[in-house]
Structure 1
Amino acid sequence: MSNQIKIYNANIITPFRLIKGGSILIKDGKIEAVNAGNLEVPNAKEINANGAYVSPGFIDIHVHGGGGFDFMDGSVDAFLKIAECHAKYGTTSLTPTTLTSEKEDLLKTLDDFETAHKINKNGAQFIGMHLEGPYFAMSQRGAQDPRFIRNPDPKEYEEVLAYSKSIARWSAAPELKGAIEFGRYLRSKGVLAAIAHTDAIYEEALEAFENGYTLATHFYSSMSGVSRKNAHRFAGVIEAGYLIDEMDVEIIADGVHLPAPLLKLIYKIKGSDKIALITDAMRGAGMPPGDSVLGNINTGLKVIVEDGVAKLPDRSSFAGSVATADRLLRTMIKEADIPLIEAIKMATATPARIMGVDHKIGSLVVGKDADVIIFDDNINIQTTIIKGNIVYQNGEQEIN
C-alpha cells in the first residue's frame, strides 16, 4: 500500500493565503508538498476534494470530554473515546483538561493520560494535560466543586509536577496567596500558567502576567470585570486581557457563553494572532440533550444539557459547553462576521503557538505533521487525517 496521499481539487487554507484548486501531498505522515495546481504523483492514494476547503486540523487547548465520556472518569478508554469523538468534528490535537478534585483523582487522571497517549491511534492527538484548578477564587468557581478549591500549596503542586512530565498548562486565580510564586514555579518548569476563575483587579493581573500568567482561560467566563469598592472603580482581568497586548485569550465561541457583540469586540481588540478558539466541552459534546454529569461519571456534578450548553440543575450558571470545534468556526464566521481564514487561524496556528507546538502542527507547511481536514462551506467535516492516517470520513469523498 502506498504511504502517500494526494488531496487535489481543493481550496487550501495556508497561513498566508487561500489556494484555489490546489493539491497537497502527504508522505510518511508529513506534509510533503503544497501546490497551486494538480500534482502528478504516481501510485499515491488520491482524494478528490471537489472544491471543498482543506485546512490544518483544529487544535482544542481546553476540553474536558465528549461522546459521553470525561477525562476524569478514571479510565484510559474515556481518553480514547473522547479523542475519537472530537476527531469527527475536525479536531486533530487537544489538551485534556481536569476539574478541581481530590489529589488522588488528579494523579489517576495523569496516569490514564500517560497510558492513553501511547495507544491513541484513531483520535485527536494529545499535546499535554491542562490542570484547571484547584487554586481558584471561591466567588468565581462557576461549576467547579467548592469542596476542593484552595490556595496554592508548594508542597502539593511541586509533588504533582514531579509526578508527571505531561502537564502542559495549569490554570489558577493569580490573586490568591502564593499564586505569584506558583506562576513563577510553573514558568521555571516550562508549564504555561493561565489566569482563570478569578476576582483579580487589573494591577494583580498585570503582576501575574509579569510572573508567567500569559493566557486568560475562557475569557469573560468566571472572570472579573469592572468592580466598585468604596465608590472607586477598578478594572478587572477582562480589562487586563484587552490592555496587555501580549496576553493571549481563549474563548468559548459556541454562541452561548459569549454573544456575537462580545465575540466581535474581542476580535477587534485582540486579533486572530492572540485568540484561541476552545470548546471547553464536557461529556455532552456530540451527544443528545438531557441529563449529564460534569466530571467523574460516579462522583461528578449532575447537570442539564439544553439550548446547546450544559447548565447547573438550578440553571443559575453554565457548566461547560457541549460544542465541537466545527461549531466554533461556524459561530465566528456566521454570527461574528469573521473571515474564514482568520477564524481558521484562531483554531489552528494561534493555539499551536500558545502551546509551543507550532513547529510541528497548526499550519499546512512542508515538513509539519500531516494533520489535515476537509470541510464544506458550512464547516461540515468530510475527512479528518492525523499524521497521515485517515481517521474519519463521512462517505462523500472520492478516494482512489
Structure 2
Amino acid sequence: MTTSLMSDHQSGYVDLQVNGYYGIDFNSDELTAEAIHKACQRLEADGVAGILATIITDEVERMATRLARFATLRAADSLVQRIVWGFHIEGPFILNEPGYVGTHPRSAVCPANVTDMQRLLEAAEGLTRIVTLAPERDAGMAVTRMLADQNICVAAGHCNPTLNEIDAAIDAGLSMFTHLGNGCPLELSRHDNIIQRILSRAERLWISFIADGVHIPWPALGNYLKIAGRDRAIVVTDAISAAGLGPGEYELGDQKVIVDEQGATWSADRSHLAGSSATMPQVEERLRRELALSEDEISQLLVYNPQCAINRQEAT
C-alpha cells in the first residue's frame, strides 16, 4: 500500500461499513474468536485503524444473536476491541422493493419499530454506532428520534423517500445516507430519484460512497463527490469476506457471493452486486489514480470524516 495516509495520520483508515474481511464473514452464525482475530489482524496490516462491523438484514432474532455473539467475542480480545469500534446495523427496516432492497433478504425486511430496534440495541451491548433504515418505513420517525436521542448516527439507505420525508427525517435526527448510488434500481427516473433528492440535501447530511470502481463508475463518483462536498463525503468499502482475496465464491450471511476477475461481487444469480471485495489501500490508490484526488482530500474521505460522523472527534 502507499504510506501517505499512515505517515500523516497515525490512526490510519476508518471504514464505517465492513461485512467481513479476508475470508471471514461477520454475518456468519458460526463466527469464532479466532476468525474475528484473523480478520482484525489483516485489517490492521492493511492500515485500518477502525471499522464498524456491519450486520445486515435477517430475522430480528437472528440479527440479535449475531450482534450478541460478536460483542461477546470482541470483549475478550484486545486487538478486536482496538479495530472494531462498534456496529453498523444495516436493516431490517428498509424498503423491500426490488432494486432498493439490494442483496438484503426481502422476507426479513419489515417496517421500523421501537420494540425490534431496542432488541437489536440491547444485543449489541452499547456498541451500535450507525443504523441504516428507510425513512418512509419509520412511522412518525419514531425509531429515528429514538436513535438520535441516544447519539447513534441514523442513516437512510435502501430507500426511496420523498423530499418531504427526507426533510422530516433530518428534522428528527437523520444525519447520514448509506452508499449513495447503490441500494437502488439500475434504472431510475432521470430527474426525480433518490440520488438527486439526497444530493439536494448534501449540506445537511454525511453521504457515504463505495469507491471501488464497480458500484459507481468513476466519472459519476467524481461528480457526486463534488456535489456532496469534501467536508460531508465519506468513502466506505462495504467489504465482505472476499476482501483481501481474489476471485471465487464467498459467503454473506446465508447467501453465496461470486467475485469475478474484475473484483465485482455478484449475487449467485448475478442479478445484483452484493458488497465489495475492495480494501482501503486499494480504494486509496484508485481515488488517486482515477479521480486525481490530493492527499488531503483522500485523508478527509478515508480518515477524518468517518470519525466525525460517528462522533469519534469533533468536526470543524
TM-score w.r.t. structure 2 length? Answer: 0.89
Secondary structure in 1 aligned to 2:130? strand
1:148 to 91, 95, 108: 108
Most deviating of 76-85 and 116-125? 116-125
2:73 corresponds to which letter in structure 1? A
Which among 162, 187, 210 is matched to residue 252 of structure 1?
A: 210
1:346-357 equivalences under 5 Å are: 346-357=301-312
**2:264 aligned with 1:309:** yes
Unaligned residue ranges in structure 2 (runs of 5+): none
Per the TM alignment, residue 68 of structure 1 is displaced from its structure 2 partner at its CA by 0.8
Cα contact 2:102–2:273 (8 A) shared by 1:
yes
Counterpart for residue 214 of structure 1: 175
Matches within 5 A, 1:36-47: none
User: Corresponding residue for 1:66?
Assistant: 21
Seen in structure 2, the aligned counterparts of structure 1 residues 88 and 69 have a Cα distance that, compared at 3 Å, is: same
How far is the alpha carbon of 1:226 from its aligned partner? 9.7
Alignment partners' CA distance in 2, 1:122 and 1:159: 27
Deviations 1:340-380 (CA, angstroms, capped at 9, x unpaired): 22111110010000010026xx9xxxxxxxxxxxxxxxxxx
Mapped partners of 2:119, 2:75: distance in 1: 23
Q: 1:87 to 1:309 in 2, by over 3 A?
A: farther
1: distance between equivalents of 2:293 and 2:53? 27
Give the secondary structure class of the aligned counterpart of 1:284: coil
- 2-side partners of 1:102 and 1:278: how far apart? 25
Structure 1 letter corresponding to 2:212: D
Q: Verify: 1:158 aligned to 2:118, yes or no.
A: yes
1:311 match: secondary structure: strand
Instruction: Give the stretch that moved more between structures: 64-73 or 159-168.
Output: 159-168
1:169 maps to amino acid:
I
Q: Which has the higher helix share?
A: 2
| Alpha carbons 1:76, 1:115 under 8 Å: kept | no
Q: Specify which structure has the higher proportion of strand.
A: 1
CA separation in 2, counterparts of 1:213 and 1:223? 19
Structure 2 residue corresponding to 1:341, chosen from 296, 312, 315? 296
Q: Deviations over 1:156-180 (max 9, x none)?
A: 1123224431111110111115261
On the 8 A contact 1:76/1:116 being kept in 2, the answer is yes
Matched, 1:193 2:154: yes
Q: In structure 2, what is the Cα distance between the partners aligned to 1:262 and 1:116?
A: 40
Confirm or deny that 1:102 pairs with 2:63: no
Q: 1:135 aligns with which of 88, 93, 97?
A: 93
- Aligned-residue CA RMSD in angstroms? 2.3
Match among 292, 298, 309 for residue 250 of structure 2 = 292
Partner of residue 71, structure 2: 114
SS of match in other structure, 1:319? coil
Supply the AA of the counterpart residue of 2:39: I
Alpha-carbon distance, 1:224 to partner: 7.2
**Structure 1 CA distance for aligned equivalents of residues 183 and 84 of structure 2:** 26
| Cα distance in 1 for residues equivalent to 2:213 and 2:225 | 14
Matched position secondary structure for 1:131: strand
Cα distance between partner residues in 2 of 1:59 and 1:294 = 21
Aligned with 2:284 (options 312, 329, 338): 329
In structure 2, what is the equivalent of residue 239 of structure 1? 196
Identity %: 25
User: Could you tell me whether the CA contact under 8 Å between 2:102 and 2:184 is conserved in 1?
Assistant: no
Q: Take 1:224 and 1:201, find their aligned partners in 2: how far apart are those partners?
A: 16
Provide the residue aligned with 2:143 in structure 1. 182
The equivalent residue for 2:49 is 92
Q: 1:66 to 1:181 in 2, by over 3 A?
A: same
- Distance in 2 (CA, whole Å) between partners of 1:72 and 1:80 is 15
- When normalised by structure 1's length, the TM-score is 0.71
Are the aligned partners of 1:201 and 1:234 in contact in 2 as well (CA < 8 Å)?
no
Change beyond 3 A, Cα 1:234–1:267: closer
**Does the aligned pair in 1 maintain the 2:28–2:252 contact within 8 Å?**
no
Aligned CA distance change for structure 1 residues 318 and 226 (closer, same or farther; 3 Å)? closer
Contact 2:94 2:101 in 1 (8 A): yes
Deviation of 1:335 after TM superposition, in Å, equals 0.5
Deviations 1:282-321 (A, max 9, x none): 10111221111112xxxx1112111212101222211110
- Give the C-alpha shift of residue 154 in structure 1: 2.2
Give, as a single letter, the amino acid of the residue that structure 1 aligns with 2:178. Answer: T
Three-state SS of the structure 1 residue aligned to 2:181 is: coil
Partner Cα distance (2:244, 2:78) in 1? 20
Distance in 2 (CA, whole Å) between partners of 1:190 and 1:258 is 30
Alignment of 1:369-380 (within 5 A): none
Deviation at 1:138? 1.2
Q: Does residue 204 in structure 1 map to residue 168 in structure 2?
A: no
- Partners of 1:330 and 1:12 in 2: how far apart? 10
Q: Distance in 1 between matches of 2:79 and 2:43?
A: 11
Q: Deviations over 1:106-143 (max 9, x none)?
A: 22222233223334344661211110000111121111
Larger Rg, first or second structure (1 or 2):
1
Partner in structure 1 of residue 83 of structure 2: 125
